[in-house]
Amino acid sequence: MEIIFIPEERVQALLCLEELFPILKEALIDFSAGRVMQPVRTIVPLPEHAAFFGIMPAVYGDVMGAKFVSVYPENANRGLHTHLATMLLFRTDTGELLALMDGRVITAWRTAVVSAIATELLASENASVLAILGSGVQARTHFEALKRVRRFVDVRVWSRNAEHAAKFAAEIGAKNMTAEEAVRGADVVVTVTNASEPVLYGTWLKEGAHVNAVGAVGLGKREIDAQAMREATVVVDSREAALQESGEILHSRASIYAEIGELLAGKISNPEAGRTTIFKSLGIAVEDLASARLVYERACRNNE
């Protein structure tokens, strides 16, 4: 059997957003229904580099695989990507390797699409003001994914790097302002930073706002303060992962209302209208695996 290698540029070309939305919705439903075999990711810390290496395996239907991801925040000062990843995709029935592909682009887009799915479920239908805290790759993919589920007429940007914030705001036609100014009155907020301490406070949030909390992964990291976590209805991608990897949930002792897959399947009803909601996104392996299968299948069709 031929093993396909799919580099970053081709992954980007093959990863169709319109197809990714329904595929990831189905994967999240299947995960919460117990139809995915997936342990919580293994993290190997690299303190000498202020970095970590993660291994994320899963078995899902006719494919299995793993993402190998490295997170090096200091790479930003070297002109390199802070998140790097590689995906391996195998057949479940024989164990044969199908493909080796770049995982950085997959990570960037599957994360943003899952946040958009959460926004579609949890944000007000009339949401029109978007605040993005962060100015990196995830900020850009989130903007592109979120505008597919809501019509934003006012987009606000903040970043700890003022130069990056100004550049990003100019790219997307947004307003560059302080974090507090960006969040106050916003209907939807996205936190996609490398912060270890809160950059968003509960006192800033409009009642009924929806937050996609993406950037802080690990017990020592928080983007959102304890007040916001305790007062909001919290939805996660995986309860098991959240209770092991989310410093925001464990520090605040916030209760978890549901997994997003449970809401999508209708097993748990959506929070009542007008509630402030937080989707704590940690990213789970089945999201990568489902996305990699889409890339592989489209690559095979294109090669026919």
Judge whether 116 lies within some domain: no
Question: In terms of Cα–Cα distance, which of 258, 273, 25, 278 is closest to 125?
Answer: 273
Here the CATH number for the domain that contains residue 95 is 3.30.1780.10
Looking at the fold, whether 146 and 277 belong to one and the same domain comes out as yes
pLDDT of residue 304: 53
What torsion do the CA atoms of 131, 135, 141, 144 make, to the nearest 10 degrees? Answer: 50
Looking at the fold, whether 133 and 226 belong to one and the same domain comes out as yes
Looking at the fold, whether 232 and 272 belong to one and the same domain comes out as yes
In this structure, the number of other CB atoms found within 10 A of the CB of residue 35 comes to: 14
Here the CATH number for the domain that contains residue 252 is 3.40.50.720
Looking at the fold, whether 131 and 274 belong to one and the same domain comes out as yes
Question: In terms of Cα–Cα distance, which of 121, 92, 58, 67 is closest to 263?
Answer: 121
Number of domains in the chain: 2
Looking at the fold, whether 86 and 155 belong to one and the same domain comes out as no
User: Distance between CA 18 and CA 24 in Å, rounded?
Assistant: 11
Looking at the fold, whether 183 and 227 belong to one and the same domain comes out as yes
Looking at the fold, whether 278 and 292 belong to one and the same domain comes out as no
Q: In which domain, by residue range, is 238 found?
A: 122-284
pLDDT of residue 1: 66
Looking at the fold, whether 68 and 136 belong to one and the same domain comes out as no
SS3 283: coil
Looking at the fold, whether 151 and 274 belong to one and the same domain comes out as yes
Show pLDDT as tens, one digit a residue, over the chain (304 residues). Answer: 678 999 999 999 999 999 999 999 999 999 999 999 999 999 998 999 988 899 999 999 999 999 999 989 888 888 888 889 999 999 999 999 999 999 999 999 999 999 999 999 999 999 999 999 999 999 999 999 999 999 999 999 999 999 999 999 999 999 999 999 999 999 999 999 988 899 999 999 999 999 999 987 777 788 999 999 999 999 999 999 999 999 899 999 999 999 999 999 999 999 988 899 999 999 999 999 999 999 999 999 877 5
Question: 């947004």: which residue's tokens?
Answer: 174
Looking at the fold, whether 101 and 234 belong to one and the same domain comes out as no
Judge whether 113 lies within some domain: no
Residue type, 109: W
Looking at the fold, whether 199 and 277 belong to one and the same domain comes out as yes
Judge whether 211 lies within some domain: yes
Question: In terms of Cα–Cα distance, which of 115, 145, 104, 95 is closest to 10?
Answer: 104
Looking at the fold, whether 228 and 164 belong to one and the same domain comes out as yes
